[in-house]
A and B are shown apart, each in its own frame.
Chain A
Amino acid sequence: MADTFGTVAEIISSTSDVPLGDIRPDSHIMNDLGVDSLAFLDIAFEIDKRFGIKMPIEDWLQEVNEGRAESAEYFRVGNLCQRIEGLVSRAAAPAV
């Protein structure tokens, strides 16, 4: 988790000009860090590349927009890191 958080924080900082020290696990990427939708696409692109995954952002946004999930479940940095680790684990799991 610590490595994932460090990588994600560095990505957020370098793509959106948010100072690295301002990014904490409980920071909400949009609400607290002020990341706009275009900057978030940059972040998603870097995370997808760096971790070799495809974050299902559309599904997450649909759940949020339909009231089936709180945006913090996906877009609070610590929660996002957990999602990333889950996606990495599934990507690494052998196919059955």
Chain B
Amino acid sequence: MRLEYFQMLDGIERLDTAGSICAIASVPAASSVFEGHFPGHPIVPGVLLLETMAQASGYMLLALDGFRRMPFFAKATEVNFRSFVRPGDRLSIEAERVHDGSGYVVTRGTIRRGGARVCDAQMMFRLVAFPSPELERHVRSEGVRLSFLSPAEASDG
């Protein structure tokens, strides 16, 4: 995880083309985020845990769709933060597609630490054309970093 850059996922353990994914992430031991959240009690902000689940969902949707459209986070419901996530924690992030709509997708995400669920949410995404070539290049380069795409595939877009 590079919290300051919203780079929440470190790797992908499993992608099922039926519509599920498992990713991994290690919370850094130190980050400027922890200077404010909170002094003397560093924990990962809940919004960043939600973002982590959204990114797992988003990359799953990108991979299933051949990186053709950008999933934009539209809504979260039933969001539960069940325990603190601290510097150095190793996380497993699971997401599954709950509903494949026309131009939108609903997913369910869960973050676990040592098998225990620490947060979960239902999320909705709009699927739209990439609004800028720069964003598409960035997402595809992240796709290479996470092993969804080969460098050659990333440059085909």
Contacts and interface: CB of A to CB of B under 8 A. Distances in A.
Interface of A: 38, 41-42, 44-45, 48-49, 54-59, 61
A56 B102 contact: yes
Contacts of B102: 44, 54-59
Interface of B: 74-75, 99-104, 106, 124, 126
Contacts of A58: 102-103
Contacts of B104: 41, 44-45, 57
A66 B36 CA distance: 50
Given A45-B101, A45-B124, A57-B101, A38 B106 contact: no
Contacts of B126: 41
A45 B98 CA distance: 11
A40 B142 CA distance: 31
Contact of A54 (B74, B101, B124): B101
Nearest to A49: B99
A57 B124 CA distance: 16
18 contacts: A41-B74, A41-B75, A41-B101, A41-B104, A41-B124, A42-B124, A44-B101, A44-B104, A45-B104, A48-B101, A54-B100, A54-B102, A57-B101, A57-B102, A57-B103, A58-B102, A59-B102, A61-B103
Contacts of B106: 45
Given A41-B75, A45-B106, A59-B102, 13 more contacts: A38-B75, A41-B101, A41-B124, A42-B124, A44-B101, A44-B104, A45-B104, A48-B101, A55-B102, A57-B103, A57-B104, A58-B103, A61-B103
A42 B123 CA distance: 11
A58 B106 CA distance: 16
Closest 7 CB pairs of A and B: A57-B102, A58-B103, A58-B102, A41-B104, A56-B102, A57-B103, A48-B101
Contacts of A59: 102
A45 B123 CA distance: 12
A57 B74 CA distance: 16
Contacts of B74: 38, 41
A56 B103 CA distance: 8
A49 B104 CA distance: 13
